Structures are given as C-alpha cells and as structure tokens.
Structure 1
C-alpha cells in the first residue's frame, strides 16, 4: 500500500513518515522537483503537509501564504483526482478557525474567524477543497490540529523550554489559562487510524487534539521537573506584560502580542468528532506524557 507525503521535510512530516513507515510503503514527494506529479502513480493515499506556517519575523507576505497554502494545495488535489489514490488527507490548521482564544471547546461547526494571513490562507484552502466535486471512490479528510509538538519542534514550546531550562525567571504566572495541544505521537496515531479505517470516515473537516488541555503554568512545571531547574516564577502585572509585548511588535524582542496570546490565552478544542467516527475512547498518549516526551527530545540536542 503506497502512501505519498507531500511537504514531508518539516518536523511534522518527518515524524509522520516515521510513524507510518512500519505499516505502509511511504514515499516523500518534493514539489521542488519538476516531475513530482509522477510520484502519484500507484498511490493509495495522499497526505498533504505542504504549506507555509507562521512567520514570527514578519517578513512573509500575503502572496507567500496564499501561494504555499492555497495554490500548491490546488495542484496537489488535481493530481490526487487523476491518480489511483482513493484518500487524500489534507493537514490544515486550527488557525483556519481560531488563532487565539476560546474558553469553550471548539468544534467543527463553529464559525471561522482566522486572523493572520496564515489562518486566512489555510481557511481559503479548506473552502476551495470542499467545493470540489469528488468521484464516488475518493475521499477528502481535512485535519485541523492546534499546536503540534514533538522531536524537532522549533515553535513556541521550544522557545519556552530554552527559557526555563536556563533557569531564567518565568514572568507570566499572573496569566491563568488552558490550551489544547497535540503530540506528534497522537497525531501519527490518528493519521494511521484514518488510513486503516477510511471506509468509516466520511469526507469532511476533523479537529485533532490531545484529550486534555494544559495550562502554561503546568507546562512550566513539566519542563522544570524534566530539567531539574527550579527557577523563579514571577507574577508581573498583566498591564505591564502587555505593554512589553506591544513593544515587541515594533522592535525585535522575545515577546510580542501574538506570542503572548499563544502563551497565556485559553484556547480549547474538541476532538469528539474524530474519536466518535473512529470509535476511539482515549488517545494512546495523555497530554502530559506527550509533553514529557517532547521535553526529553529537546534535552537530547
């Protein structure tokens, strides 16, 4: 059973390839090659991870995001339609729905309100894909993960680890929040389940997330427990922290408004739909276990 993965060079792609390698024939496809379309021949499943993620340096343009996240997705979908593959799994993002805050677990039925060009381009790709006619023998599954973490993660979790592991005081304890994440282990598990049981998974959008949400303060304690760094926790006034973050929007600082929202805002996601369809009661890795595994991977660097 041949499975092709587009955009496999990133940390998610590399880990997903590793998760699936023992069960399927996996082939990484690079769109930089002129003949990449030929790789779709004989494929059973297409996993699309091509896209441009958040650019914290602020140098990416609207066109950059829409080309990578929408136009390339169109090309991949057209190759899927004309290929032998019967299933396309398109990895979108929770940012297509909401990027910063929701105190009620978000479901697939919630109205979309993307904020950044990243989120808007991801949502545009979802809309385009769902508007395309599908032959009876083909299915399209769109997955919306929140922040994904695991070995090779270079996002906000890695930045937080670098801060705490060096014993630098954590200044944001005044913010109480809960946030949904997904470990790469649970991500890989769900991908494998969808491929193995695609006959019971209808075409559509599905949220994938760990079963439990975690507060940033709990995350700090997990990092400290794994690194042995006791550190200092500071409850700086929220108004002062927000002022510093706004300054970071103007000049290069470790903290800016978007990063503050992602570190301290409450953003909850429901995974009931995908678990119900796949008849899964619990995911194999708890949120805490997944975070511990990721922290351990940081320590090996």
Structure 2
C-alpha cells in the first residue's frame, strides 16, 4: 500500500444538504479536516456550511481548497415530471460538475472527487459476473447517461488542466436518513408485514453510508487514487430474502417471508405499474471492488449488519 499524503488544505463539499453530503461534512470535520459544505437547501451537520441559490455561485469558495467532493446531483426518480428528463439530468449532473471542475482547476484545486453511480455500468449483471471498472459502460436511463457523460467530460478537464480526478461509482447507499424503497422495506420488516419475496434468488451489492464516507476520505489523500475510477460496496452481495433476514435480525423481529413464484410477482408488478421496483428486488447487480482493495488497500470497515444498526440507532424505521 502506498503511504497516505496530507489532505493538503480545506475541502469543499457540494450537495451538503443531502443524505450523503450532510454525513460527509460531519465525518470530515470529526476527522479534523477543514471542510465547507455548500447546498441549495439547509445543510445540517458539523463543519461550516453555506446555502447558495445556485451551485455556480460556489466559485468564490474554491480559492484555497485542496480538494472538492462533488455530490450535488439531480437524483434518479421513478416518475419524472420534467418535460425533457435527459436535458434536466444533463444540466444538473453533467454541465454543473464540469463547470465547477474547470473553475476548481483554475483556482488551483489539487483533486476533484466525483461521486457518480453504478448506473453508468448498467442496470443489472449476470449471476456471478459483477461489474468492474474495465467493463464497457452501458447506462440505460437519463440519470445514468448524464453521469456517464459527466465522467467523460471531467476526464477531459483533468487531462487539459492537470487537476487530479477521482470517480466513485457506488450502488444503492443506505444509512441513517435513507429513503425510498429501502426505507419502505425496513418499515415493512419492523411492522411484521408478510413479504412475498421468499422465492427470489438474486445477488445485489449494497453500500453502507459509513463505508462510503470512509472511502471518500481515503480518496482525498491517497496518491494511488489520482485519475482513477473505483467501484465500491460492502463486499457482501446479498439476495433480497437474505437482506430481509438481516434487517429482521438487527431489529429482533420475526422473519415473515412468503414463498411466491417469481413469475406471479412479475405479473402483479406489471398490473400495478411497479415493474421497475420489482426488477430491483429480483435482479442481480454485483460490483467487484478488487481495484479499491489492491490499489488503495481499502476494505469496508462496516458489515451490512453494522450498517443496518447505524440506521436503527439514529432513527427507527
């Protein structure tokens, strides 16, 4: 493992009002790293934070920064009301980070960490064939396309300016404050609702919030991270029934799984308009994190169960 280098100066975090951003600002501050978070909403957490009307207004804050972590994004939504979803995603997820990266390079920022998405690789993997950093990218929705286009443009900025670039592609992130389908599944297990998912035989990679924070912090100061792309996960690929069992064990609740043929689940999901949600529950999405382990010497500090316990400590589902 290569020796770590100093963070070299203050860090700027965009998207500091979000699920990951709030936690990252607090995490870096607790580690003794000078950090400022910027957000378009109220940013809670340790460290200084600045609320901006537009992220473009963050340019004056780039002066004197050693690193920027770009988290601000238009997130994937199930039912997008935008007239042109791809254009909306490109404006937030491609144009904005590229603009800030160019401004960061001009301000002398040493390293730009871009949190992308595994959706750049695609939506699913074949059983036992996890995604790697070397796979051809195949994003299928506007969110994934916008992240992939941002990655390509940011590499060009790095090449032109000499600013170091780190790209991180996480899968589903869970932790205190998690929302959407993961939170709904936690609530169902906590309430003892029978779930007809016992027949599903899949494998999915997940990422505990604290594991992501640990990895981002390492990428701020490890020389081996410069100009690299990394896939990162908890290194425990679970089936949906096994994830439910882990949730129940952590909450000390009985497991209420019903074994219903997957073909019936798919038919019901199609009728109810929940096909995409069921595909995520039934499909495989595995990540190979060998590169993070070998190049950076990183291993996720938390297990899945420990990550789930962090949710329960901070907020009951």
Tell whether the structures are fold-level matches, with TM greater than 0.5: yes
Unaligned runs of 5+ in 1: 250-255
Cα distance in 2, alignment partners of residues 211 and 234 from structure 1: 27
Structure 1 residues 57-86: Cα deviation after superposition (integer angstroms, max 9, x where no partner): 332422221111111112111111111210
- Say yes or no: does 1:145 pair with 2:162: no
Give 1:136 deviation, angstroms. 6.8
Q: How does 1:1-301 map to 2 (within 5 A)?
A: 1-22=9-30, 23-30=32-39, 32-33=53-54, 35-60=57-82, 61-103=85-127, 104-134=129-159, 138-197=163-222, 199-249=223-273, 256-280=274-298, 282-299=299-316
Secondary structure of residue in 1 paired with 2:130 = strand
Q: CA deviation at 1:295?
A: 4.1
| Higher alpha-carbon deviation: 129-138 or 185-194 | 129-138
Distance in 1 between residues matched to 2:174 and 2:202, nearest whole Å = 18
Tell me how far apart the structure 2 counterparts of residues 74 and 196 of structure 1 sit (CA, whole Å). Answer: 22
Structure 1 residues 180-237: Cα deviation after superposition (integer angstroms, max 9, x where no partner): 111111111111112122x232302111111221221111112222333325311122
Give 1:261 shift: 1.5
Q: Which runs of 4+ in 1 moved over 3 A?
A: 133-137, 295-298
Q: How many residues align?
A: 292
Q: What is the deviation of 1:135?
A: 5.7
The DSSP-based 3-state class of the residue aligned with 1:29 is: strand
Distance 2:158 2:310 in 1: 41
For the residues of structure 1 that align with 2:207 and 2:272, how far apart are their CA atoms? Answer: 28
In structure 1, distance between residues paired with 2:271 and 2:312: 30
Change in CA separation of 1:273 and 1:13 when aligned onto 2, cut-off 3 Å = same
SS in 2 for 1:269: coil
Q: Distance in 2 between matches of 1:183 and 1:143?
A: 14
Q: Which runs of 5+ in 2 are unaligned?
A: 1-8, 40-51
Q: Is the 8 A contact 2:125 2:131 kept in 1?
A: no
Contact 1:214 1:287 in 2 (8 A): no
Are the counterparts in 2 of residues 222 and 292 from structure 1 also a CA contact under 8 Å? no
Q: Is the contact made by 1:142 and 1:204 (CA closer than 8 Å) also made in structure 2?
A: yes
For residue 77 of structure 1, give the secondary structure of its aligned residue in structure 2.
Answer: helix
CA gap of 1:219–1:99, structure 2 versus 1, over 3 A, is same
Q: CA deviation at 1:100?
A: 2.9
CA contact (8 A) 2:11 2:69 kept: yes
Aligned partners of 1:231, 1:3: CA distance in 2, in Å? Answer: 44
Deviation of 1:99 (Å): 1.8
Please provide the CA RMSD for this pair: 1.8
**8 A Cα contact 1:213 1:287, kept in partner:** no
